[in-house]
């Protein structure tokens, strides 16, 4: 007689597989009371489908990407989590690029075809979409070892936008991971974008940029549309505002900045906003942006007396 899974254990297997994107491991099946003989029988009958050593799809072999990620994690055994590029893709920080990375405790050393296994003494772990994965801070630290600076900044911004971790919290988290290889690059990025200049240093660095962009000397600290603005070119109708500590600005401060920019735009001004970090570390890009905007404004012959009023 063919070995059968008892009804209670079959229901438990089906429930587990449903929670794991259609995937179960041999260890889990045995833990639910399914014998090795019953596993072999269901493999022969096509009710289980071998995905990796010790990992099966229940019912149908066609899996979503989540199922394939789950299979990779289960195949690496207890304590394994998705990480690096795969972890970033699971969190929605980066597009999936087909490379499977799994992190395991340092006491274990599984070797799995098609999976790059990372051994680590400690790492932040959680679950997302039912899959064990490095937590957002650890994932970003790992990505910092793989991505170009612009790609890493995009991933940090995406994590903030998705409410996974804000840059201020991330900065505090990485201080507790000093020995991880991705920390210096991530810290450099966060510190650059949270960089603040004094008023005098800001002018000292920004005014040469305006000259290289072909702009005359701006007015500073003037009042327009009820606001004190940082830099103003009345002949062009151009306003530049600068932000320090971008990553520490509260939602209320950000909303106020948007209202300022909207009021300037409604009054016919062109409002640009740069961070102190951009002025310090991305001067070429700031110069290029200002130069292109200045050309456009001169062509449109902007009015010269727009928006003057008293400060709020």
Percent of the chain scoring above 90 in pLDDT: 69
CA distances from 97 to 65, 86, 94, 128, 230 (A): 12, 8, 9, 19, 43
Q: Given the structure tokens 């960089």, which residue do they identify?
A: 195
Q: What is the structure's pLDDT at 76?
A: 95
Q: What is the structure's pLDDT at 2?
A: 53
How far apart CA 240 and CA 165 sit, in angstroms, is 30
State phi, psi for 24 to the nearest 5 degrees. -140, 155
SS3 52: strand
Across the strands, what pairs with 57?
Answer: 23, 49
Of 62-71, 201-210, 251-260, 267-276, the one with minimum mean pLDDT is 251-260
How far apart CA 35 and CA 15 sit, in angstroms, is 18
Mean pLDDT confidence for 43-51: 93
Mean pLDDT confidence for 250-264: 88
SS3 237: coil
Q: What is the structure's pLDDT at 3?
A: 56
* Confidence bin at 302 (pLDDT 50/70/90): very low
Please, are residues 91 and 42 in contact by the beta-carbon 8 Å criterion?
A: no
- Does the pLDDT value for residue 266 go beyond 70? yes
- Does the pLDDT value for residue 8 go beyond 60? no
* Confidence bin at 229 (pLDDT 50/70/90): very high
- Does the pLDDT value for residue 310 go beyond 80? no
- Does the pLDDT value for residue 252 go beyond 90? no
Maximum alpha-carbon separation in the chain: 94
| pLDDT tens by residue, 105-150 | 999 989 899 999 999 998 999 999 999 999 999 999 999 999 999 8
Mean confidence (pLDDT) of the chain:
89
Please, are residues 56 and 23 in contact by the beta-carbon 8 Å criterion?
A: yes
Q: What is the structure's pLDDT at 255?
A: 87
- Does the pLDDT value for residue 98 go beyond 60? yes
Distance of alpha carbon 46 from the chain centroid: 40
Written as one string, the DSSP assignment of 184-205 is: HHHHHHHHHHT----HHHHHHH
Of 22-36, 83-97, 183-197, 199-213, the one with minimum mean pLDDT is 183-197
* Confidence bin at 59 (pLDDT 50/70/90): confident
Provide the CB-side half-sphere exposure for 169 (13 A, CA). 13
Mean pLDDT confidence for 90-95: 96
């Amino acid at each position: 007689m063919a070995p059968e899974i008892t009804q209670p254990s079959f229901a438990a297997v089906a429930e587990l597989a449903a929670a794991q994107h259609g995937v179960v491991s041999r260890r889990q099946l045995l833990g639910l009371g399914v014998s090795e003989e019953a596993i072999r029988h269901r493999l022969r009958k096509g009710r289980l489908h071998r995905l990796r050593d010790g990992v099966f799809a229940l019912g149908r072999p066609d899996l979503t990407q989540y199922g394939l990620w789950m299979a990779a994690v289960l195949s690496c055994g207890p304590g394994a989590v998705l990480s690096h590029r795969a972890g970033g893709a699971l969190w929605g920080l980066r597009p999936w690029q087909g490379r499977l990375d799994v992190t395991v405790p340092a006491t274990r050393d599984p070797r799995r075809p098609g999976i790059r296994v990372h051994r680590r003494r400690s790492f932040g772990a959680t679950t997302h979409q039912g899959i064990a994965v490095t937590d957002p801070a650890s994932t970003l630290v790992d990505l910092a070892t793989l991505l170009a600076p612009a790609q890493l900044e995009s991933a940090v911004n995406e994590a903030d936008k998705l409410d996974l971790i804000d840059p201020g919290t991330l900065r505090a988290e990485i201080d507790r991971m000093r020995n991880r290889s991705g920390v210096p690059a991530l810290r450099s990025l966060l510190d650059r974008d949270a960089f603040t200049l004094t008023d005098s240093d800001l002018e000292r660095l920004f005014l040469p940029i305006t000259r290289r962009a072909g702009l005359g000397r701006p007015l500073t600290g003037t009042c327009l549309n009820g606001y004190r603005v940082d830099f103003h070119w009345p002949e062009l109708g151009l306003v530049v505002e600068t932000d320090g500590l971008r990553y520490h600005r509260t939602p209320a401060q950000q909303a106020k900045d948007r209202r300022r920019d909207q009021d300037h735009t409604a009054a016919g001004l062109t409002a640009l906003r740069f961070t102190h970090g951009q002025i310090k570390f991305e001067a070429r890009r700031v110069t290029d942006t200002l130069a292109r905007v200045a050309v456009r404004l001169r062509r449109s012959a902007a009015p010269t007396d727009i928006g003057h009023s008293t400060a709020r």
